[in-house]
Structure 1
C-alpha cells in the first residue's frame, strides 16, 4: 500500500459541459423518505429568473440552515417569517437549537404547510424569497444567511446500486461489495506511550466489543484504542429533528434497516472498518469516534458541522489548559455532498468548520467520493480552497485499486490531493452482523456437528470483511500521515502554528518518498 500524490496543487476547474446530475448518488425512495430527503434535479425544479440553473444535489426538503444571528434578533426573524408566510409555508424554529452552543452559527427551522397554498419544499421557498418584490422582500444580507441543508453520503461501496451492494460475481461492478472474510495475520501490538497522537473519526461509530480493539468513554480516561463520547451522542440525540432513529448512542446499530428483507444495512460496519484500517497501519494512535452517520450512509449537514465544531472546541480548550478537554491531532471524514451552486462554490457553514480546524493546526483528511465524477465533493474539495496563513493541510483522498490504478468508482479531478488503496481492503467488521442472505448450498456434515455450506454472503461473525470505497482510502492516507508525524518525534505542540508546521513537514516527507 502506498500514497500517491497529485503532481499539482489542488484547484477548482470549472467544467461548463458537465452533466448537471454528475456526482449525485443514487438513493432509493425509501432511504430518501427516511430522512426527509429530495433530489434537486435542475430540469424539474423552480429556479430564480436571471440566475444560472442549479446543478444536482440532495437536500432535506422541510429543513433550512439559518444563521443564528437571524434567529436571535427578533426584528430580523420577524422579517424572515413575514417573507415566508405568503408562500404558504411556516417556519417553526422554536424547537431547533444549536448542538454546540456558541459555535454552531446556524439553526434548523422546520417548514410546514399553512393551508393548501403550497407544498413544503425548501428549494422552492428559497427561490421565491429571492424573487419577491414587495414590502416583504428580504435584503441580500439576510438571504445569504438562509440556505439548504444537504444530506451527506458516506463514500463506500459501489455507485449506481441505489444503496445496495453489487453482486460479488458481477465483473462489471465498479467496486467489490462487502463480503465476510477471516483475518490470518494478528493485529500489530501497541506500544506503551505517555502521549499518543489522536485522530477523530466522524462516521457510523464502532461496536462496544470487538476482538481487534478495546473501547472506552472519554470520561474514563483509559488508554484504549477507541474512545467514544456518550455526552456528545446524548446531545445529538436530544436535538434530533429527523424521522430516522436518533444517533444518541456511540455504538453502531441497529444491524438492519427497518424493512422486511432483513439484509445487513448498507453502511452498517462502516466506522468499524475505518477503525480497523487505522489499527492495522497506525496502531499506536488513539481513535476518537463520533457517530454522525446513519446505517444507510446518510448524515445531516448540521450534525456534521456540530461535530466538527465540537472537536475544534476541545482542541482550543486543551490549549487553554483545560484538563477535562479531549483534543485531537487529526480529523478523518468519509462523507460528503455535491453543491447545487453551478460554480461548485458551496455556501453555508461546513467550510467554516473545516477551515477552523485547519486554522487550529489540525489536518482534515476527507474521502473524495465514489460517484465516478470529477465534480467537487465537499468537504474533501475544500483541499482546493485557499487557507488562512499557517493553517494545516486539508487532504482530499481518492481510491486506488490494488494494482495502483485509480479505482473506477473513485471521483477524481484537479481538486483531489492524493490517492490511497481503497479497493479490496480487509479490515474489522462487527461480529454481530448477520443478514437474511443465505448460502447457495447447505448440507449436514456426516462427521462433525455442523453444516457444510458455500460462502455465506452476510454472516460476519469472523469480525472481518473485504470492502471498497474512498471512505477507506481516507483513513489509510490519514494513517500514513500520522506515522510520518510520529517519525518526526514531535508529539507535543503548544499552539496552532506548531501543530500546522508539524503536519506540513510530515506531509513534505511523505511526498518525497
Structure 2
C-alpha cells in the first residue's frame, strides 16, 4: 500500500477523509469520491496537499482529515516487539463456561486454531476476516485472539480485518469497520494498532466513529514508539489507552509509548499465545508489544463485564477509590498469562 511521510506521520497520498457536508467545500480540488459505511474518501487532483486542505476545511468548521496510515506494530528497527518467535505449545484447554459478552477485534484477521475450533462465534467468521499467512505481522490478530480467549473465557469474538499481513491499514478502512459494528455493537472493542497524525490533533472522523459506539468500551495500544507523542486512537479521551510493562510488571517496557494520555498498562514483554501453524511455528508464538498488553486489559474488562456493564467496569478499575497509578502509564493490570 502506498504511503507518504508527513510530519513524522504517514498518510495515503492524495486522499482526504470527510463526511457529506464537506464535499461541496472540497469540490474544486476533487478528482473523484468514494463513499461507503459513513465516510467519504476524496481523491484529490494532482498537486493538492491533503494536509493543507484539511487545515483549510477545519477552519471552516468541517470534519476532515488526511487518510492517515495506521500500523499494527509501528516498531520496525528490531527488538522483541518487531516479530514473533516460535514457542512450544501452551497447555490450555478452553472450558465450557459461556459469557454473554462480545469482544470486537479489528486487526489482521484470525486463523483457525484449536482454542476456538467449533465455537459458535468462529463459525460466523467469514473468509474476508481470515488472518494473512504472509507478511511481517501475519498472525498478529490470531495472537491477540488467543490472549482475549484466555483472558475472558466464554466470551465471543467479532472479528474484522482492517490490517494487511504487514500490519498496515488506514483510517478510512477502520472508520468504515467501526460504522459496521454499530448494528450489533460489542461490549468491548480491541484496537491493537494506531498512528500519529500530521498535526498531533485527534483525527475527527475516527473519533466520531468510536464515539458512535456509545455502550462499547474501546481499548487501544499506546504504540511501540518509546515516546510521549500522542498515538491515536489510544490518546482519545473516550478510549482506554494501554502501555506495555516489562516482564517484572513494575516498569515500562523500553519500546512502549507513554504520557498523560495513557490510562492503563499491562505486561507486554514475551507473552505467549496462539499463532499461525506455519513453518517453524506450530500454532504458538512468543511476542512483545503494546498490542498485546492491550489485549490483556481488554480481556480483564470483558471478563468482568459478565457481571456489570463494561463502562461501569472501566470506571471502577480506572477511577475507583484506591486505584494505583504509575505516572505516564496509568493503572497497572497484572496478568499471569
TM-score by length of 2: 0.86
SS in 1 for 2:244: strand
CA contact (8 A) 1:36 1:62 kept: no
1:416 aligned to 262, 266, 272, which one? 262
2:330 match: none
1:81 aligns with 2:27: yes
How far has the Cα of 1:301 moved from its partner?
0.3
Output the CA distance in 2 between the equivalents of 1:80 and 1:175. 40
Task: Report the aligned-residue RMSD.
Answer: 2.6
Give a deviation string over 1:196-250, Cα, whole Å, max 9, x none. 211001101111x2222126xxxxxxx53536554xxxxxxxxxxxxxxxxx711
Aligned pairs for 1:226-265 (under 5 A) are: 226=122, 228-230=124-126, 249-253=128-132, 255-256=133-134, 265=135
Output the CA distance in 2 between the equivalents of 1:80 and 1:297. 31
Number of residues paired by the alignment?
A: 323
1:169 match: none
**1:227–1:362 distance in 2 versus 1, CA, 3 Å:** farther
Output the CA distance in 1 between the equivalents of 2:157 and 2:149. 9
How far has the Cα of 1:463 moved from its partner?
0.5
2:187 match: 329
Name the larger-Rg structure: 1
1:398 aligned to 233, 243, 262, which one? 243
CA contact (8 A) 1:178 1:466 kept: yes
Aligned pairs for 1:474-513 (under 5 A) are: 474-486=294-306, 489-490=307-308, 500-501=311-312, 503-505=314-316, 508=320, 511=323
Give structure 1 stretches of 5+ with no counterpart: 1-34, 42-55, 72-76, 85-89, 131-137, 167-172, 216-222, 231-247, 257-264, 316-327, 388-393, 435-458, 491-497
1:365 aligned to 215, 219, 244, which one? 219
Aligned pairs for 1:61-460 (under 5 A) are: 61-71=13-23, 77=24, 80-82=26-28, 84=29, 90-93=30-33, 96-98=34-36, 100=37, 104=38, 106-113=39-46, 118=47, 121-123=49-51, 130=56, 140-141=59-60, 144-155=62-73, 159-161=75-77, 166=78, 173=79, 175=81, 177-191=83-97, 193=98, 195-207=99-111, 209-214=112-117, 223-224=119-120, 226=122, 228-230=124-126, 249-253=128-132, 255-256=133-134, 265-315=135-185, 328-341=186-199, 344-357=200-213, 360-382=214-236, 385=237, 394-404=239-249, 405-431=251-277, 433-434=278-279, 459-460=280-281
**1:184–1:289 distance in 2 versus 1, CA, 3 Å:** closer
**1:36–1:428 distance in 2 versus 1, CA, 3 Å:** same
How far has the Cα of 1:368 moved from its partner?
0.6
1:468 aligns with 2:314: no
Output the CA distance in 2 between the equivalents of 1:298 and 1:199. 22
Give structure 2 stretches of 5+ with no counterpart: 325-332
How far has the Cα of 1:145 moved from its partner?
3.6
SS in 1 for 2:183: helix
Output the CA distance in 2 between the equivalents of 1:506 and 1:413. 19
Output the CA distance in 2 between the equivalents of 1:417 and 1:502. 14
**1:112–1:182 distance in 2 versus 1, CA, 3 Å:** same
SS in 2 for 1:310: helix
Which of the two has greater strand per residue?
A: 2
1:442 match: none
How far has the Cα of 1:499 moved from its partner?
5.6
**1:184–1:330 distance in 2 versus 1, CA, 3 Å:** closer
CA contact (8 A) 2:302 2:310 kept: no
Output the CA distance in 2 between the equivalents of 1:126 and 1:277. 38
How far has the Cα of 1:468 moved from its partner?
0.7
Give a deviation string over 1:444-477, Cα, whole Å, max 9, x none. xxxxxxxxxxxxxxx21x1000011100001101
